[in-house]
Structure 1
Amino acid sequence: MNKEVIASYVTIPMAIKVLQQDCEVFNDFKMYRIYLSKIDAVMDQLQHDFNATKKHLYTVDYVKISCIEKGDTMKYNVCGNGMNKVFEFTPSELRSLTSELMRDYLYGDKAIFSELKEDTWMN
């Protein structure tokens, strides 16, 4: 089990939460529906990928990940399938990983095309 998989499992929910908070800010924009179309599509894709990752970890790798300590560093215990290992992430490392993940889903390799909703141009 590599740190990238653990980081993905940890940061996808963080990215979803950030995007949900951003949606609240977009509501103050005049043309907020344009942004919400894209953000909704990205959140759906993130949730789908998180569910797939979680299912793979639990049913194929037989691994469970749990947060064991919050503080100066976030510690996650990965146990199962003969493994019991602790992974640590600093808050700045988690911010950077979450930002990079969001960038990939909004503009990079994992970006998806999103249709504008019918009422996008209506106020």
Structure 2
Amino acid sequence: MDLECHIEAYPPPAITWHKDGIQLSNNQHYSISHFATADEFTDTTIRVITIEKRQYGKYMCKAANKLGSDEDYVELFETVIPVCPPACGQTHYGDAATLSASTVALLATLFVYVFRNLNTQY
């Protein structure tokens, strides 16, 4: 599961990810990457490699530069994906595995926007 944070800030900010008050880093459970897309835009992604009950919860993306800092949250939660029973009609909906895989692909990216206090006119 990838959680994304899109940041607009100048000068470029330091970016950190947190969960339950603990700063996260690259390890066997998480992979963090940052991509500068323009002078004042940065995208960061945290990939949750191992999806276990303890990985569910609120994640915080925090950005800070000399003008200030800001943060926003995204929640990773387990859902039950409904599968339409045969009574829904003649349309082929696929089996549960196919439906789950396609639905997970649609839900795989969550976005957080952080930029309120980190931008200035130049």
Taking structure 1 as the reference length, the TM-score comes to 0.23
Taking structure 2 as the reference length, the TM-score comes to 0.23
Of the two structures, which has the highest relative contact order with CA contacts closer than 8 Å and spacing of 6 or more?
2
